[in-house]
Structure 1
Amino acid sequence: MTDVLRDNASRGLRGRVEERLGRGNRTPLGLWFWEIDRVLLLLAFLLIAIGLVAVAAASPASAIRYSDGEKTFPAMYYFWRQAMWVTVSIPFMLGTSMLSTTAARRIALVGTLVLIVALMALPFVGAEVNGARRWIGLGFTQFQPSEFLKPLFIVTTAWLLSLRAKDPELPLVIITGGLTALVGGLLMLQPDFGQTVVFGAVWMVMLMIAGTSPKAIGALIGSAVAGIVAAYFFYGTARTRIDAFLFPDPDKAMTDHYQTDMAHATITGGGITGTGPGGGIVKFKLPEAHTDYIFSVVGEEFGLMACAAIALVFLAIVVRVFVKLLDEEDAFRLLAASGLAVQLGIQALINMAVNTGIAPSKGMTLPFISYGGSSMIALSIGFGLLLAFTRRNPYLKRSPYSVARSKQ
């Protein structure tokens, strides 16, 4: 009798779910549920869950490092704050993923303009942290305009490049290049060389996807190399970090390359399988263990296999997006979604390269895993836009082969 009641209850619950989210449901929520790429959404939630575990592992080390005589942080201080930011961020992701293409474009255009103005104001109103003015203080927290600008800039650039279909004579490379140069120049003033590299790299990848001529791409690559060389000679922040990475001075080990050395020692400290949760020791010597170098903490406590698994999740997201876009016919959606996926992949790649000692320190967070309110909310908005641009009607056959076969 109990089994019968349980089966009836189960069928009743399943029936109610099917009634509310069935394919015949034409409500906005029902349409969203069937159009959203649930695999991408699941991968994002997986990264967020991994991030909470990673921040919990890094929180004691950062709490000790940033405690002083006036204020002492509890061991799990950063974990609980990150849990709060995750709770705030997920509704942003889901809400943004429900936007129509037109609404997403309009919000991105307005947001890009507002955030560029905010970047211009940073030298005057920004809060200085570790010698950089990248944040605007909001009392209980800090707001980093560049984090929010990244996804909106990509959508704006995608819209501009998609105008080529209407007028091939538009100088879109010059227009989008000028916008990228403006953002890059404002970022260099903070200074934030790492974010400048991300903006420039994503812009060039989007140009390739948009079908820009190989000659123009080659010229841009040459210009990028020349820009890096110029940055080395005329931009002190870049020169200092490159010198510390390529030409380490043993007498300045505690200042020039202490972070990268400790990151390497931490990430390899746990071997293949790690020391186990809470078993890390080297992490207590690692600066920014909960933000820039959280990948190293994962390596120490959960092993290099866990680091490889995280890298594979990021790779799976990028590959999933590009496979999904193979039959996309809308140039704007194609460029926006691919640009957002590339931005996520490049940022993750840079962070992992720094943690493994392949690249110099750049102050780049690991998406969805590093601690940070601005970063978490901005990434959630960006991923929500990615989900919005990859939404598909499950009944719509997009490939020419499918269309031709349906007409037979």
Structure 2
Amino acid sequence: MDRFRPAKIAKGFGGRTVPRERTALAIWFWEIDRVLLSLIVALIAIGLVAVAAASPVAAIDRSTDAVSVTPLIYFYRQLMWVAIGLPVMLVVSMLPRTQARRLALIAAVIFFVALMLVPVLGEVKNGAKRWIHLPGMRFQPSEFLKPAYVVSIAWLLSLRAKDKTLPVIPLSFGVTAMIALLLMRQPDFGQTVVFCACWAALLLLSGVAMRYIGLLCGAALGLFVLTYMFYENGRQRINDFLGIGHDPMTGPDQADLAHRTITNGGFTGVGPGGGQAKFHLPEAHTDYIFSVIGEEFGLLACIAIACVYLAIVVRVLLRLLDEEDSFTILAAAGLTTEFGLQAIINMGVNAQIFPSKGMTLPFISYGGSSMLALCFGVGLLLAFTRRNPFMDRTPVVKWSGR
């Protein structure tokens, strides 16, 4: 009969009354950042609309029988991945910070091993070996490794606050270098950039001396030059972006096609299903879905989507302003950097600002690995940004009376 008794009441911050005895779900509801969760759900909804617009292009390109093609096949599949990913995100977000950190560390080990197995078990797709194909399933280890890697490096760097003598910076560099080498072997230049940029951002946030940041910037410039000189995949992407060696008789390249598509709809778009330029795009439902949105829903819709991504980043950073735990700050900021950087790269490629990198647009592009990995990463982010709304987090300044 105890469950029918009214919950005990206690005075909370601001004089509000809160129940002392609450279920785990009720605690999660009060502690979760509902604004951040709403923005993520809005992105997922936008993504479903965008995939529905781009699905006929992919369905026609990949179908061997034009008569039996199902135009919305990729929309139905994306709906299935959303139905799987949302519960994953919510369950991970319910974990306490310690358990969320442990889960990320375990996932980092598992998917790092999987990344090492890609050359052996990998499947070649579009000239790159990035996928592991097992009976009944196929996944991209680097997508799942990204959020786990960020949390793991954040945990390593947070140990400097306890013991300055720990060699966490060389260790984090070694892990990042190994991942970068494995990714460039696939080749996957875009993911390599994201991993290295996240590591650099975490180093900067951890408070390393500025001379090391300067050395890091110099090393990055040197690696860029070496990449162009000796790394065929990176050199080809840069040359395509600059138009070096392109034969005009072969027609426009991917960047030109994306630019024509995104500007074809003007500010308001040609309307859902009315786009024609999208049928000339490669990977319209993944890498270039932002261009499809621009054609059918207009540049105003593209600007609105960019504002949603910006709002997510700003929301997390504001949430961390009064956070005191160094690991939480590094982990949440690192996950936000990874999320925002991926969005910037994809939108920049579609707007012909960056070279083509094969990067999906978070929660909007089609993809099972991408959707599940993003849900896992955002679940970790929601777990790390949870807090008791009735706790006064204003710093207390003690006055000595002198």
Task: Give the shorter-chain TM-score range.
Answer: over 0.9
Match of 1:352 in 2: 347
Tell me the alpha carbon deviations over residues 55-78 of structure 1, each in whole angstroms, 9 at most, x when there is no partner: 000001111111114995300000
Partner amino acid for 1:306? A
Match of 1:130 in 2: 126
- Where in structure 1 do 4 or more consecutive aligned residues deviate above 3 Å? 69-73, 138-141, 247-250, 252-255
CA distance in 1, matches of 2:241, 2:386: 43
Secondary structure, in 3 states, of the residue corresponding to 1:327?
A: coil
Match of 1:15 in 2: none
Verify: 1:378 aligned to 2:377, yes or no: no
Verify: 1:400 aligned to 2:395, yes or no: yes
Shift of 1:27: 1.2
Shift of 1:171: 2.3
Secondary structure, in 3 states, of the residue corresponding to 1:136?
A: strand
Secondary structure, in 3 states, of the residue corresponding to 2:247?
A: helix
Change (3 A) 1:246 1:380: same
Worse-superposed segment, 107-116 or 33-42: 107-116
CA contact (8 A) 1:23 1:34 kept: no
Shift of 1:177: 0.9
Match of 1:291 in 2: 286
Verify: 1:84 aligned to 2:80, yes or no: yes
Match of 1:200 in 2: 196
Match of 1:362 in 2: 357
Match of 1:11 in 2: none
Tell me the alpha carbon deviations over residues 314-352 of structure 1, each in whole angstroms, 9 at most, x when there is no partner: 000000000110111111111000000110000000000
Alignment of 1:45-64 (within 5 A): 45-64=41-60
CA distance in 2, matches of 1:308, 1:64: 29
Verify: 1:224 aligned to 2:220, yes or no: yes
CA contact (8 A) 2:240 2:246 kept: no
CA distance in 2, matches of 1:183, 1:243: 25
CA contact (8 A) 1:133 1:190 kept: yes
Tell me the alpha carbon deviations over residues 163-198 of structure 1, each in whole angstroms, 9 at most, x when there is no partner: 011101222221111111111111011100100000
| TM-score when normalising by structure 2 | 0.92
CA contact (8 A) 1:187 1:193 kept: yes
Shift of 1:139: 3.9
Alignment of 1:305-324 (within 5 A): 305-324=300-319
| TM-score when normalising by structure 1 | 0.91
CA distance in 2, matches of 1:143, 1:365: 15
Match of 1:328 in 2: 323
Change (3 A) 1:249 1:71: farther
Alignment of 1:104-183 (within 5 A): 104-183=100-179
Alignment length (residue pairs): 383
Change (3 A) 1:171 1:289: same
Partner amino acid for 1:365? T
Match of 1:18 in 2: none
Match of 2:184 in 1: 188
Shift of 1:377: 0.4
CA contact (8 A) 1:23 1:30 kept: no
Partner amino acid for 1:302? F
Partner amino acid for 2:69? F
Change (3 A) 1:72 1:360: farther
Structural RMSD (CA): 1.8
CA contact (8 A) 2:240 2:253 kept: no
Secondary structure, in 3 states, of the residue corresponding to 1:268?
A: helix
Give the alignment partner of residue 35 of structure 1, picking from 27, 31, 35.
31
Match of 1:6 in 2: none
Alignment of 1:216-295 (within 5 A): 216-251=212-247, 254=250, 258-295=253-290
Pick the structure with more helix per residue: 1
CA contact (8 A) 1:245 1:360 kept: yes
Note the residue ranges of structure 1 that are not aligned, 5 or more in a row.
1-21
Note the residue ranges of structure 2 that are not aligned, 5 or more in a row.
1-16
Percent identity at matched positions? 59
Tell me the alpha carbon deviations over residues 342-399 of structure 1, each in whole angstroms, 9 at most, x when there is no partner: 1000000000000000011100000000000000000000000000000011122223
CA distance in 2, matches of 1:385, 1:252: 47
Shift of 1:404: 5.8
CA contact (8 A) 2:63 2:69 kept: yes
Match of 1:68 in 2: 64
CA distance in 2, matches of 1:72, 1:350: 36
